[in-house]
Amino acid sequence: MKRKLHVYGNWKLHNKIRESEELAKAVKEGSVKYKNKVNIGVAPVYTSLINVRNILGDNSTVKLLAQNGYPKPKGAFTGEVSFPLLKDAGCRGVIIGHSERRHLFNESNELISEKVESALQTGLDVTLCLGETLEQRENGETWQVIEKQLTSSMFHVPPTYREKLVIAYEPVWAIGTGKTATPEQAQEVHAQIRNKLEKSWLKDTSEKIAILYGGSVKPKNAKSLFEQPDIDGALVGGASLDPESFLKIIDIASHL
């Protein structure tokens, strides 16, 4: 039997505080019936975190996530937000290494590795994002890129922290483009990631780590993706800004 799926919504740079509150309220109310059926999370902008936390409550079915964080706990780092501050704001997890952080803000594998370690030590769950560009895929470099991102960011993690990790495979060419990897393309990479986890750690650990797909996930393609044996849910972008679409994806996950 397949494990309980995850559906996380990444709101990116969208929604003022009032809009975030309204969206959080709709997701919270619509998610009640999926308690214990789907692992649900939302990642608002920093300025809305406290307000969304207040809407969701401390023991909500919906987990509050941050979209990013800085690995140093405090100091002269103007403009950054540390993981202890995110935890203090009510976050239970954080997204690290999103393709937009890697490619728009030039975050290296080394920096992402430092963030993963710092976030886990702070007590936050980590959703680590991996993905290749269209050029890399066309050049047959997909697994080479994914393996390097995975190895540099994960395999230094001590056993006590490993079950707090979630992986999200998100091909860069499918982020915000309307293009989606076919279920078969996504499953191929997910299976390779699972196999690498099993070889580097243990089969028991590899089976417990959820591997999500991210890249233009919508209600119309969610079912075919979730039916794949190594796809454990979705990191949803644009569709998570519409509560009806997001809840529909959650509903699909609850039946698989």
The alpha carbon of residue 142 and the mean position of all alpha carbons in its chain are separated, in whole angstroms, by 19
Closest CA to 124 of 193, 69, 59: 69
Cα atoms in the 13 Å half-sphere on the side-chain side of 191: 8
Q: Which of 100, 117, 132, 170 is catalytic?
A: 170
CA distance 101 to 117: 17
Active site residue 170: yes
Tell me the sheet residues that pair with 64: 42
DSSP string, 38-49: EEEEEE--GGGH
Pairing of strands 125-130, 210-214: unpaired
From 6, 98, 117, 190, active-site residue: 98
> Does 6 qualify as catalytic in the annotation?
no
Burial class (CB in 10 A: 0-12, 13-18, 19+), 1: exposed
* Joined tokens for residue 161: 């922290």
68 — phi, psi (to 5°)?
-175, 175
Q: Annotated active-site positions, please?
A: 98, 170
